[in-house]
Structure 1
Amino acid sequence: MRSTWTLVDERPWRDTVVAAQRGDRQALDALVAGWLPLVYNVVGRALDGHADVDDVVQETMLRAVHSLDSLRDPDRFRSWLVAIAVRQVRERARRREPAAAVDPGAAAAADFAELAVLRLELDGQRREVAEAVPWLDAEDRELLSLWWLEVAGELTRGELAAAAGITRGHAAVRVQRVKGRLETARGIVRALDGTCQDLARTTADWDGRADSVWRKRIARHVRGCARCGDRREPHVPAERLLAGLALVPVSAALTVSLAASGVLGGAGKASAAAASATWTAKAVAAVTKPAVAVTAGATFVAGGAYVVTQQPEPPPQRVVVTPTAQSTARPGPTPRTSKSPTPTKSSPRADRTAPPHGAYGTVVDTADRAPDPDAPPGPLPRRGDKGVTLTGFTGMTHRGETVTLTGTGYVRIRWQVVPQARAGGLVMPTWTGLKGRLFHVASGGGHRMDDRQPGDAEGDTWMTDPVNGPTVLPEGAQQMWQNEYVWIDGTVTLHQNERGADYNLYVQPSSWQAVTDDVRTREGVVRYGLVRDTGTDKAPVPQYLTRSTPADPATVAQHSRPGPPSAR
């Protein structure tokens, strides 16, 4: 059983920014609520959960509210807000007394790594990455807080650079350095979890707090120790572990504090009590809830109406298991071909390329080739973008979960294939109940899922695992990219049909500009993206699409004939 509610009218977030600038209190509340998880994660990781985190977040939101009129371009609200958060982190470091920097009691709050592990139920190498963050210097943690959100799909590289106050080229260099230092810190975390007696003697007088002195000592030991330097499981790069990871939920205390301060529900102190009572009754539950609700909060941030899906009794959180040397997992069963009919050599090609009179779109029923990684894509045609509402699971990690898209605009589907948990045959997601039009307009995210992982062994891709083997697509299915973009004018439901290989889908409203920025970004990734949209009614439609609503969504044919658009 699920219920849906919105904090603001179903309209594009750009309109919400403009409305807030004009004094619309409901729009301003929606902006603060929608963007609060992102700011909280930027500040929390930059300060590693220091007791000052809530104060810095609150100051950031106050400054944003009070200076909103100075924002000339509403399309840059996200980068503008993140830049304010970074400046507040730096200002806090400058004004903090030297004694506070060395006072063990100053950081009384639980560190952000612990919050991430507990609230997101991180395990394996994801937990290792989170626990490595405190070993980084403050400057590195600041950049890592931005890069972490870039990899998770919440920021673009351009927004990362703008927030850090550096060029994109310099950002690429600094990110590579931070990744290297993060790997060193991961080695420290791994070693401290081990049983090396030499390391135990080295750290006999260590007080358990991460600092630069002990980082150097332990890292030096790890480099020279055969036991601590030996990885007993295949090493997964940090960016692969962080992709698609939900934001850490905002603490209820901070949310109530924001309401009581007048940032939410009314600017004056006279309305603070009412704000705390009315706003927190809805928003506290939303921004403090992990996984689905928090991802929905990020959905508004990414460029669509803020819609929260609540589950009174959510299914258990599935833990993504990283491969180990002792793993005995086997690939899941390959799905039956009856679930995904594919063309055969005897199929009449004319029947598959000549749609009936009045039909729209071009159905692609064969796998396409990967484009030249160094060739920038052509321009993306601009279509209408009035805003899209998502109802259901914006983070689909289990079979049977669905999300319904309603409205007119762009939507991103972010893929996460998890062969470490279960490889084998992959049953593709399907689109059902289409009313109106749906086009497959672009592919991005910097790589196709069959691209080779940078720095990994030959043949190691995002869809393979050294222990479990590869994830295999149905014959004729297009290879998905990390980010797949569609444009909807109407309504349609996307189904997660996981029955063999393990995969997750993260769905967010997007925009023409966001899609364009994604597919044309080359730095730090494998390849440029791909523009598929022709700008006409003959643009490609997604595979596995139907206007019907079958009892088993996995039976939707690969070659779909959606027919002419119907009135909504």
Structure 2
Amino acid sequence: MDSQHWRATITAAQSGDRQALDELVAGWLPLVYNIVGRALNGHADVDDVVQETMLRAVDNLGSLRDPDSFRSWLVAIAMRQIRDRARRRTADRLEEAPAADFAELTVLRLQLEGQRREVAEAARWLDDEDRQLLSLWWLEVAGELTRRELAAAVGVTRQHAAVRVQRMKERLETSRGIVRALDGACPDLRELTGRWNGRPDSVWRKRLARHIRGCGYCGGTHETVVPAERLLVGIALVPLPVGFTLSLAFGGKTAVAATSAGWSAKLLGALTKPAVAMTAGATIVAGGAYVVTQPPDAPPPRAVVTPTATATSEPQPSATPTPTPTPTPSPSAKRKADLYGTVVDAVDRAPDPDARPAALPRRPESGITSTGGPRAVMQHRGDSVTLSGRGYVLVRWQISPHARPGGVVMPTWTGLKGKLFHVASGGSRRMDDPLPGAPNGYATGMGGPDIGYAVLPPGTQQMWQNEYFYVDGTVTLTQNERGCDYGIAVFPSDWEAVDKDVNEGPAQGAIRYGLVRDTGTDSAPVPQYVTRSTPADPATVPQRSRV
């Protein structure tokens, strides 16, 4: 159907035309179903996310100022609901198997064979972020979306989208090789997969990819491998399943749903708001002026987070190397503040580059053992290291917005037995320090408009290249990467190394001196993300923990 017809249909639906709304929803439901279904790989939540997307589209239809932008607007709503669903899901839902494997549905309903089938099945091996991007890119090469719409839905520029798509395609090609190898008869591969539970995940993707690279049988190309984009050109949308229908109608100025058995009953009561009245409070503004597409615990990547205090906490004074507890009105409150387990809630200001750090108190050291050895490197979500003993630990950051910009999902400390302090920050720079000679002073670690931004959750202290902690007991540090790409290295350290690092400032050619947080007592700050419990998903640790 041509764009002129859709423009007229959207305008009529905004005016309260019952038939136009029905046609609009029926016409665009398959697109939303394909995006959500592929992004979630047929998970049981697909129905809920699709219906919530359509509900929000109906609720906010009156806010759409340009009917020509309806498709990109609708896709952005769908992507937001997918990310919101990731935030809401509980540990038991995380492990829940798909209700209907979308890769299998794609193969069966579109009758895909050969390498087209291989591409569809390879999607199972992608991480959530890649699968979400694949859901859009698949429709782009199939002619259902434009690159501009894909970039708007992801929340990046077209140039950044190209980089992200290229990296996703590389992982998709790796996954295609795994699908191909698993269909083969390599005895070594059969032995390797004897311990595999049959469920694709990133750990086994890496193991199998490593085997394929070193295996002459699995790594051999027995046929010409056609690029995925050539295989997907012009491919149809996956048809809706039987009973998967949604009919919307206006009742006066109220939307009413008539659903088949395939939809949950909660939809009937949800569509009772005026469909054209929500303009000022709309979540999505037409034309892509503002689209929330970052992970739910991070702000949109529009600028580097500035080191200012949050609304609920006071900033620490500039150039004050040791943060002081928030002033308290009574002696009893002061005693509570001195108890172990206080988190520095303020987003601390950067000390002046020439401000020398406070003296670092010396704590007892008997040595730290690490399950990751003397140098544990954590590059992927779920990587963890357990530290035991009494001594100093260095956590060294490497932010990579050029690989994948977006919100930073912070690492967390779990299973704490004993005490853990945040004692100092070093590495001669903060992650938001401008790189000398960089255009417009774009930050070294948090990115820039040419590569995308890494954005900290609101209220998070700005990170330094090196962060030092003191462990007296046992604790596990977990990498929770979901948005921005980052890695962290964990080194057992000692007092001399920490003291030397924080005191190496501009005189040695670095950007600034370090910062000492340790008071030498139990009033020293603990990390913002720490708990004594061991949650199924470490990323759920609250930001302002109390231990």
- Measured against the shorter chain, the TM-score band is 0.3 to 0.5
Larger Rg: 2
TM-score w.r.t. structure 2 length?
0.46
TM-score, length-normalised on structure 1? 0.44
